[in-house]
Structure 1
């Protein structure tokens, strides 16, 4: 049986400085993010998923609830932990540790910020967390994060992680995957359908 999976990124978070590293920091949605989450309800209502899961982080739960769902919280779907880089501006890190920022790109799968996770670490907990919830469902909606969904595309479809970084997924954007007996297929990328 094929299971259709909707990877739904959370709405825009409340963030003072846009070019800031945030992963494990539990930010709420901005006003625009709350509005976008409500706009999702008409789209997801047409999908009518059998099962809805979410990261336990506020921005994901608020997006799901704004769209009209009470999801099952899955702790392993939380966003990547950036350790000592959490809530630091890109520009500040570029001055403080330019070599580490370069390594994060050249060693993108395995590089860990101080006291943080690598994308390989993230994949080891997040990808099984999605797979384990697909049994006996025709469609599953997953409310989560950009980093988490990048690892899903990397591990499940085999798209190189550096390539995935060039694939857009806007706030409230939806990647659509089909999990079937012959593997996982990307059906649609960054589907938004006029959400504002």
Structure 2
């Protein structure tokens, strides 16, 4: 790491209609609800006070729109990265939580046990980390000393990225827990690498409605 004392804020997008329906989004491009936009505006005010130096975001609409609220307050440009999209989950995408359990019960149970599972024939969680974590590191490297990077992404992708950057084995990533809509986690640089400083911050406790739950 060339820069020292940097922070990475991993910010999950605001609410979508599919979140409310407990419908698996994955890489499907779903827009924010009005509530999701309001969540993004509120969270952006808090994050702007941390004086970020750069914003990078998934190019899916729900993340891009969330990032746009912070860009509007800070004047920063957004760098869009396809590699920060949510986990591609094949046949699971568009199904509700109950439908997934009914049709793919064994696969779902194996995933919850921490086994390497291609949900719906899609990506492994380790493959998501393989594409997303290097993007975060690359942008973090560009920060000034003690700089702050905001990464706007998705619940599953954020969790796998945190797990990878902390050096946790993949079967332990589930223990990080999910992120509520428009909440964030903060990683900071320590003497021996990245440390988790905050997790699912930004609001009074709200339910986690997302693909990583």
Give the TM-score taking structure 2 as reference length: 0.83
Distance 1:34 1:144 in 2: 15
**TM-fit CA distance, 1:181:** 4.6
- Say which of 49, 52, 64 aligns to 1:49: 52
**TM-fit CA distance, 1:168:** 4.0
- Note the aligned Cα RMSD (angstroms): 2.1
Give the TM-score taking structure 1 as reference length: 0.90
Residue by residue over 1:95-137, the C-alpha shift from the partner in whole angstroms, topping out at 9 and shown as x without a partner, is: 22321221222244x2002331110110110111111111131
Partner of 1:66: 69
Structure 2: segments with no counterpart, 5+ residues: 207-213
Kept in 2, the 8 Å contact 1:26–1:59? The answer is yes
Are residue 33 (structure 1) and residue 30 (structure 2) matched? no
**TM-fit CA distance, 1:39:** 0.9
Are residue 126 (structure 1) and residue 135 (structure 2) matched? no
Matched positions, count: 193
Structure 1: segments with no counterpart, 5+ residues: none
Specify whether residues 27 and 70 from structure 1 end up closer, same or farther in structure 2 by C-alpha distance, changes over 3 A only. farther
Kept in 2, the 8 Å contact 1:17–1:89? The answer is no
Q: Which portions of structure 1, spanning 4 or more consecutive aligned residues, are displaced by more than 4 angstroms?
A: none
Are residue 9 (structure 1) and residue 21 (structure 2) matched? no
